[in-house]
Every structure is written in structure tokens, then in C-alpha cells.
Amino acid sequence: MSQTERMPRKRTYLMCPPEHFAIEYVINPWMDTGTAVDAGLALRQWHFLHDTLAGLGHRVHVLSAQAGLPDMVYAANGAFSVDGTVYGARFRHPQRAPEALAHQGFYAAGGWTFAEGNHVNEGEGDFAYLPGAYGGLILAGHGFRTDPAAHAEAQEVLGRPVVSLKLVDSCFYHLDTALAALDDRHITYFPGAFSAASQRVLAQLFPDAVIADQADAEAFGLNLVSDGRHVVLNAEATGMGEKVRAAGYQPIHVDLSELKRGGGSVKCAVAELRPRP
């Protein structure tokens, strides 16, 4: 990878503070209602992540948290945007369904072109956009949270080709727990989270990908946010940090131990907003 490809690009993000975060139900293998969340620590960790992104020069919008929606802190799941158009989420589990309306209200207030999803999908949790790959490519996961029909719907709404990838390990229930964009053209992923056919597709499309192992994925090392140079990832993911460093990126570790109790880390807490160029 050339130095140009490792240059950062200013981004715009959306986050939601964990003011009501708690483990009140179980909808993924990482959640345990018997484990108490340290609410104060969760909020301090969230603020550190927010300030880290802002300190890198990125604009960070904040969506107000709502009582009764403990998973709203995972802001990446509420929608997916490309060039000013937003494809809205339709959550798999009823406990999270009202979050979609909160996100819709944010985009409506900002003047975005918004399309409500007719098929079950969980926003950027299962969609990743690479504007510099093949003219602009969307990678989309299915198997646990997002219906395959949503991939075709997203393609029609967003006008970008969508590549469907099947997730096969429930521990990696969203695409963003198993794959991440490192810049506009390059990705990192854990092959074991995908079906054999999807592994072949990824190897063909991204022969120079950074390949993660199971330890990286279990440390939520793939649930990262990158601006093309700075890779912000979970503090436990030291091995993943070394892999991205070897590929020419600068890892920045943040501790999100409390949010991990709910099955998410850096990327789950951060939606990238992609306004019209």
C-alpha cells in the first residue's frame, strides 16, 4: 500500500451516549443479564471514544439517548448512508425496533434523502461501503440479523452494487464484528466468520486484505473505525493492532469493556455519515 492510500480522510460520525445502557435481555451470545454494567464507566469510556474521534479532526454528531432503549448506544445499527441517501434500519428484535424511528428523525432534521427499509436490516451493522473499490462497492452481511432481501433493496435505494456475504458464526452476528474497511479500497476480515463461498468471494475481490484470526475477532478487533490512516479499535485487540500497523496504519486502542458486555465495541458505537459530495 502506498503512503497516499494511508492518508486520513476527514469523516462525519454519529454516536449516542450510553445513558440508559444495561443488559436487560439477550439477543446475541455476548450478552448476559446476570452481569451488571458499570454505567458510570460505560459513559466515561464512551466519552473517551467520542473525544478520540473528534481529536483526530472528525465531526461527531450526538443522537440523544432515549429511556427504555438500552442498546441505542450502538448507533451504527440505525441506518446506512451513501452520498446523501439513507437506507433506514428495520430491526430483527422488537426490543430495538423503536431505535429506527429515532435515527429517522435525526436524518429528517438534517435534510437527508431517507428510505425506510421494508426488509429486516440493521444498518451499518451489516453494511460496509468502500467508495474506492470497483467504482464504489457495498459489502453486506446476512445470516443472523439482516435478511438477504434487504441487500437487493439497499442496492436499489443507494445505487451501488451490493455483494452479499453469509455469516455462519453467531458470535459474529453482524458484518461489522467480522469485517471492516481500513480505507476507501482495503478491508480486513476474519475468514472463519463467513461461509466457504463468501470466503472465496472476499479473497477474489480483496486479495491484499489484512487477514484476522479468531483471537482478533473475539477481542472485537474487527469492530473498528478507520479514517484511512488512524485505526481506532478495542484495547484488548493487541494482535489486531499489530496487524494493521504492519499494513501501514496507525492503531489507536480504546477501552470499551462495558459496551463489549452488550456485544459491541468501537464500530457498533459509531455510524459513519456520508453526505452528498
Residue 37 has pLDDT above 70, yes or no: yes
Whether the per-residue pLDDT at 4 is higher than 70: the answer is no
Q: Which tens digit of pLDDT belongs to each residue from 54-107?
A: 999 999 999 999 999 999 999 999 999 999 999 999 999 999 999 999 999 999
Q: Is 16 helix (H, G, I), strand (E, B) or coil?
A: coil
- What amino acid is encoded at 67 in this protein? A
Strand runs labelled E in the chain: 12-15, 59-62, 79-82, 85-88, 113-115, 127-130, 137-142, 162-166, 179-181, 187-189, 210-211, 225-226, 230-234, 250-254, 271-273
- Examine the pLDDT at 167 and tell me if it is beyond 70: yes
Distance CA 3, CA 256 (A): 30
Percentage of residues in the chain having pLDDT higher than 70:
98
What is the pLDDT, as a whole number, of residue 2?
Answer: 46
Q: What is the pLDDT of residue 91?
A: 98
Question: What's this model's pTM, rounded to 2 decimal places?
Answer: 0.96
Summarize the confidence of residues 165-180 as an average pLDDT.
98
d(C-alpha 142, C-alpha 94), whole Å: 18
3: pLDDT strictly greater than 90: no
pLDDT, residue 5, reads 59
Q: Is the pLDDT of residue 116 over 70?
A: yes
Q: Measure CA 42 to chain center.
A: 18
pLDDT reading at 168 higher than 80: yes
| Whole-number average pLDDT of the chain | 97
Q: What is the pLDDT of residue 277?
A: 87
Percent of the chain with pLDDT over 90: 97
pLDDT band for position 6 (50/70/90)?
confident
Residues labelled as active-site residues:
174, 268
- pLDDT surpassing 50 at residue 10: yes
